[in-house]
Structure 1
């Protein structure tokens, strides 16, 4: 199948490991983890796979400035700043914060990578971030620069091909390992990672359950968001694909206190998992999602699935602003 063009930024393929002790604790199920937290250092995480496609489109369009948005500790914004610096481009980050942020975690790295940062309130972010980014593009054009806007999480039609390609990678690894994964589990925060996995699974008829665990909003919101992304992705393909809305499987109930907000049970889970497996989850995405997965298995909601693959989408830098919340 002919996909849109991309550039090579990530360290691929990322390895797949069995979570030995975690699986044993959960009973008759094998949990594997795909280490997309190891796609790089500055670009670590799932965002770089999407940026490989989005930034290629930007370069082909003659753009020299990447404009994007996210929370103050956005992994995507940090990865965008790193990619821009690596390619000799500029980055403008529109970040959400209702107070003067501490210079730590991803926000510190954004500064270190030379990005221009514009802080806006949560209200502005919710209602006007796209307009603000369009205004930035208009302003920089006056100085001769050409901006390319990347939406939150690079979760759009072009960006989602990053995880379409990742699904092809997983299929190859299945053959090499002699394993068939019944389901693939991923945290859902903007929908693009899920959308890419789902699209490839549908077009190639792999027959796997693609299971998302939302870390903000709710399942219905993300089903609609994924549909919107898939419709946009379809514009890049010359092949039709059919699916039903109910095929999109999002497990709700693990948002907790809200996006990027942590409670004790989530942080305790991250600590216990880290000590058990030597793998560090993040508090915004993978910590909530892996906790949710463990609870669903304990409840018997995933009976019939023998081998599950969890996508570790990175985000370790987001732990540092929460260091004082952990109890050791």
Structure 2
């Protein structure tokens, strides 16, 4: 039997799978289902908490009392870190990518509410300076007797990916309960941890469906490289040898739109229409782009050979509030 790392129990699991009846009828293609990972919790809702159950357990096992992590001003991951740290009595330090118009809204407001320590770095210098900033914080804390555990953006590393290894196991069980099989599992593709965990699980459990990522930021090639790096780390934690090929990774990169965290008028209109159609809120950064992309592809006939598709709603509802003024409700 395969052995994987231990985790702490925080998320509300398993998350339900629902059929998107009206969207499926409107598109006239395969039946579309949605897995409600936006309901893994309230304060730490979304896909991040599945990963953090493993990452934080490793931090606690290493006797760490402080977490450092990275992300954008409206990072769902950073908000989840802040919430979980508060719950477990840990300190959190968030190194955030600053833009020119910081509003105390959405996830940033919650970061403050949870008592996170925040350091901003200008967008232009962020990639070059974030590691140095983390090292300075780490040295300062070490001199005060604290032990620090660093988690990368999105908790997308070898240990974090086991969150979606377990999610794949959950999906397979739910397929049996529902009496259906998903030909494709579709997710928003960002930092690679969710995809890598699903792919790891699909290989180990011999899952017959295909995993498709719809990129919200990077090119197809860059995303594939990320996933391979994470999988290489994950394999070091398990007791069986596994090999992976880039050819096993399927990602669409033609729905990045105006860029990471930037929403087009068409995407915002789709999020609004989807909310009115299904009573579910997608976020502008991840799930809105991905579901918009999936719907466009179905309309083009790309998935005409599929009977059932599962879309994983990885959450991010708080990220919609800072963009509320961009929505047009005039029609």
Deviations 1:161-189 (A, max 9, x none): 00000000111111111111111000011
Counterpart Cα distance in 1 of 2:43 and 2:203: 32
Shift, 1:242, TM fit: 2.9
Unaligned runs of 5+ in 1: none
CA contact (8 A) 1:202 1:243 kept: no
Counterpart Cα distance in 1 of 2:209 and 2:306: 10
Shift, 1:132, TM fit: 2.1
Unaligned runs of 5+ in 2: none
**Aligned 1:191-202 pairs, distance under 5 A:** 191-202=192-203
Counterpart Cα distance in 1 of 2:289 and 2:99: 23
Counterpart Cα distance in 2 of 1:135 and 1:228: 26
Aligned to 1:139: 140
Aligned to 1:249: 250
Matched, 1:279 2:286: no
Aligned to 2:155: 154
SS in 1 for 2:197: helix
Counterpart Cα distance in 2 of 1:112 and 1:71: 17
SS in 2 for 1:135: helix
Deviations 1:50-86 (A, max 9, x none): 0000000000000000100100000000000000000
Shift, 1:137, TM fit: 1.4
Aligned to 2:327: 326
Counterpart Cα distance in 1 of 2:173 and 2:17: 11
Q: TM-score when scaled to structure 1? A: 0.98
RMSD: 0.9
CA contact (8 A) 2:15 2:37 kept: yes
SS in 2 for 1:173: helix
SS in 2 for 1:212: strand
CA contact (8 A) 2:30 2:304 kept: no
Q: TM-score when scaled to structure 2? A: 0.97
Aligned to 2:187: 186
Shift, 1:25, TM fit: 1.0
CA contact (8 A) 2:121 2:129 kept: no
Counterpart Cα distance in 1 of 2:45 and 2:156: 17
Matched, 1:216 2:217: yes
Deviations 1:168-220 (A, max 9, x none): 01111111111111110000110000100011101221121000000002111
Q: 1:252/1:100 Cα in 2 relative to 1: closer, same or farther (>3 Å)?
A: closer
Counterpart Cα distance in 2 of 1:89 and 1:130: 21
SS in 2 for 1:302: coil
SS in 2 for 1:314: coil
CA contact (8 A) 2:184 2:310 kept: yes
Deviations 1:92-146 (A, max 9, x none): 0000013351110000000000000000011332223223223321221010011
Counterpart Cα distance in 1 of 2:125 and 2:134: 12
